Chains A and B, each alone.
Chain A
Amino acid sequence: MIDRTELWTVVILLGIGSFFLRFVFLGVIGDRALPEWVLRHLRYTAVAVLPALVAPLVLWPAANGGEVEPARLTAAIVTIAVGVLTKHTFAAIAAGALTLAAMLTLLY
């Protein structure tokens, strides 16, 4: 059982901290111009952060005890392939979800 004081301390501080992280640049810098080299790096934020966040989840899913799991891995590959080819996020999600469901049914 999680201690209640501990839980609420984390919830409140995590809420404040998360807002601060989201507000730090948007709120403080506002409409002051950022140097070109900074902008050049920021253009790649999304394509760097999101794949880095999910890569370990794809390769070593906790649901499978951190071991490679073929259904999830195949679904991830199909999602990327369809996304790159069609440029449609929802086509990619649908293809990935269907692949996952089909593979899980076939394998287990």
Chain B
Amino acid sequence: MSTISKSAFWLGLRDGAPFVLVVGPFALLFGVVAADAGLNALEATAVSLAVIAGAAQFTAIGLLADHAPTFVALASALAVNLRMAMYSASLTPHLGAAPLWQRALAAYLTVDQSYALAMSTYPKHPDWETPQKMGYFLGTVTAICPFWYLLTIVGALVGNQIPPEFALDFALPITFLAMVAPMLKTRAHLAAALVAITLSLVLTWMPYNLGLMVAAIAGMMAGARVEMMTGGAK
């Protein structure tokens, strides 16, 4: 444990803890949807444990319930999770020097919230080395992930008793928008977001959610290009 900073871990835990309020409803919704599709609590929880990525889980279960071929369900869910490879690349300059077991653990725990928190916090602590960065990253998910599993079980057990008027489906969009909005600090960030949004809307016809990947890559290219033109990242 000596290679993980405890103080940074606590900081991460503090920053990540409030997210249980929004991750919770989303996990609950997944449990409900899984129960709806005929999964029992054990099966629903297995999905959450194996995948810990709401959007991909919804995609897979939704398609299976729709009687899509196994391959299509799998490929579509993996395509939704392709962004994790981008997160992995983006985290590498920060966490790449950590021991292999820590990198494997961080990889399993790479979710939108831990990634977004890390990316918005690391620039505020230029003195942080790998132990601090790893500590912070693991701290952010320590509260979130148990809630993810737990509320999946609750959702699967409670099933359809939650009325649709609660609009649990919108916990995810609100969370993601709220995480991204404070990051829109420069014209380059703004350009990346606008290009990605526009293309994701235009490309919804692409199979397996591939439009998302094209939109994301185009957004990143736009950000990098504007950064070059305006000079400097900050």
Contacts and interface: CB of A to CB of B under 8 A. Distances in A.
A11 B47 CA distance: 6
A55 B49 CA distance: 27
A56 B204 CA distance: 8
Contact of B189 (A6, A42, A44, A52): A44
Contacts of A71: 167
A7 B34 CA distance: 11
Contacts, number: 290
Contacts of A89: 178-179, 181-182
A54 B92 CA distance: 25
B120 to A, nearest CB: 8
Interface residues of B, number: 96
Interface in A1-27: 1-2, 6-7, 9-15, 17-19, 21-27
Given A44-B192, A52-B219, A63-B169, A96 B107 contact: no
Interface in A40-69: 40-63
Contacts of B164: 63
Contacts of B228: 40
Contacts of B4: none
Nearest to B189: A47
B200 A55 contact: yes
Most B C-beta atoms less than 10 A away, residue of A12, A31, A82, A86: A31
Interface in B128-177: 164-165, 167, 169-177
B177 A22 contact: no
B196 to A, nearest CB: 4
Given A22-B88, A22-B110, A56-B204, A48 B179 contact: no
A51 B88 contact: no
A25 B219 contact: no
B93 A34 contact: yes
B97 A79 contact: no
Interface of A: 1-2, 6-7, 9-15, 17-19, 21-27, 29-32, 34, 37-63, 71-72, 75-76, 79-84, 86-90, 92-93, 96-97, 100, 104, 108
Interface of B: 18, 21-22, 37-39, 43, 46-47, 49-53, 55-56, 60-61, 64-65, 70, 73-74, 77-78, 81-93, 95-97, 100, 103-104, 106-108, 110, 112, 115-116, 119, 164-165, 167, 169-184, 188-189, 192-193, 195-197, 199-201, 204, 212, 215-224, 227-228, 233
